[in-house]
Amino acid sequence: MHHHSLRLTLVLSLLVLLVTSVIGADAEKLESDAKVWSGLYYAGPEDTTKGIEPEGRAAKLVERMKKVEQLQFPTYRLIGAVSEDVLKEYESWVLPSEVFFIKLDSLGRDDEGALNATLNIWQQKSVLLKASMKLRKGRPMFVRGPKWGEGYIVIALLLE
Amino acid sequence: MKPTEQQLTQWIDATLSHEETREVDDWLAANPQEKRELEEMRAISLEIAKAASPPADVPAAEFFTHQLERRLDELDQPAAKVASAASPVVVPWRRYFVSSLAAAAIAVFATVITMRVSHDSGDEVAAVEEVGSDLTGVYTPQDSVKVDAFYADAADAQVVILNGLPEVAAEVRIAGFGEATQKSFYDVTFGSEIERMLTFVDGQSSDVY
């Protein structure tokens, strides 16, 4: 009985915390510099145990990846994909998976609308790559990461 | 004419102009006692400079932070293992204490490096690599990793190939978010966290925090 009331208190506290943080974020009305789509793929020999068959935009990007010699794999499987706002003067996390993710620190848009940002790619607690980048509309960025089984991890970034 | 103290000090540091060096050398040739003393001092100065030299290539401060974090993780791990047998909840006090200390060390380190680089080149902290026009200042904290970054004309895309990363075992499950799974980061992370907390409240968990 004691445990049940403790559980209830805990759940209610978490809900209150969640609601207040959502209201707080809305009140601040953080300004977005851009919206960035990111997809995490398995690329390698056929393996249906990993992810799903890419569709729509994720599939179109695979067609483009296959035009790059270093990214010519027989199969691409989509593990995760998200669109996130890249906030002005804030660090923004783009999280297509729980293991590999991206941090973007926006440096604003240039005259042509390209996003200037500092890119960090993380594998859990480790930074794999840090770079200053320009992400242009219609020109994605593909990153081939570590080997995963018989294939590779590939990350795609696209300015929406 | 006897060189000034300033010139002798500069001779020891080898920072005199060619002309002045020749003049001091001429004077030393006529004064062997002083020559011996100055040569000894120069030798000591060189040894000190060698011992105190910073590493030739100092990457960005984040590399230092990363190494420090990795070391902290290593330090925390054995303590956590020992403590888990005795108690279900362990406060990683050392992390908080050492983190504060580390933050101060990083601040000093970053200031020194920035001052050094600014003094040397009048520029900001140098990037490790410069590649392709859309990607500059690339660096990887892992020495074994080589970055190949280029613009792929056929795909109209910027491509980055990271060679030399440790392999992820085939059996490792990587949970994705969003379009592929219909699950958000919050579902997966907070969902499992809440479940774990509830289990803990029920007294069935021995998880270490």
B74-107 burial, b for 16+ CB within 10 Å, e for fewer? eebeeeeeeeeeeeeebebeebeebeeebeeebe
3-state secondary structure of B143: coil
Residue A130: closest CA among A157, A154, A158, A102:
A102
CB nearest A10 (choices: B133, B160, B198): B198
Which pLDDT belongs to residue A59?
A: 96
Give CA–CA dist B182/B191, Å, rounded: 14
For chain A, give the percent of residues with pLDDT over 90: 47
Residue B132: closest CA among B108, B157, B111:
B157
Answer whether B159 sits within 8 Å of A68, measured CB to CB.
yes
pLDDT digits (tens, 9 = 90+) for B153-202: 999 999 999 999 999 988 888 877 776 565 555 455 455 554 444 444 44
| First vs last C-alpha separation in chain B | 74
Any idea what DSSP says for residue B123? S
In the predicted structure, residue B115 carries a pLDDT above the cut 50: no
Find which of A79, A103, A121 to mutate to test the B interface (most B CBs within 10 Å of its CB): A79
pLDDT digits (tens, 9 = 90+) for A126-151: 889 898 999 999 999 999 999 999 99
Least confident interval from A11-25, A26-40, A76-90, B82-96: B82-96
Angle made by CA atoms B109, B111, B117, in degrees to the nearest 5: 100
pLDDT range class, residue A94, cuts 50, 70, 90: confident
Helix B32-52, helix B18-29: angle, nearest 10? 130
pLDDT digits (tens, 9 = 90+) for A2-29: 556 666 666 666 666 666 555 555 545 5
Answer whether B181 sits within 8 Å of A95, measured CB to CB.
no
Of all residues in chain B, the one with the smallest CA distance to A69 is B152
Answer whether B158 sits within 8 Å of A140, measured CB to CB.
yes
Burial class for B120, CB neighbours closer than 10 Å (0-12, 13-18, 19+): exposed
Taking contacts as CB-CB distances below 8 angstroms, the residues of chain A near B174 are 40, 50, 79, 97-100, 148, 153
Would you kindly state where each structural domain of chain B is located, as residue ranges? 5-52, 61-121, 132-166, 171-209
Predicted structure pTM score: 0.54
Maximum CA pair distance of chain A? Answer: 63
Q: Rounded to a whole number, what is the distance in Å from the CA of A38 to chain B's nearest CA?
A: 10
Q: Is B101 on the interface with A (CB under 8 A)?
A: no
B199, B205 contact by CB (below 8 A): yes
Q: What is the mean pLDDT of residues A111-130?
A: 89
pLDDT range class, residue A159, cuts 50, 70, 90: very high
CB nearest A134 (choices: B127, B134, B172): B134
Which amino acid appears at position B186 of this protein?
Y
In the predicted structure, residue B209 carries a pLDDT above the cut 80: no
pLDDT range class, residue B34, cuts 50, 70, 90: confident
- Residue with the bigger pLDDT between A78 and B177: it is A78
Backbone angles phi, psi at B26, to 5 degrees: -60, -45
Q: Is A87 on the interface with B (CB under 8 A)?
A: no
- Which helix (H) or strand (E) segment holds residue A152: the answer is strand A151-159
User: What residues are paired with A78 via a beta bridge?
Assistant: A41, A52
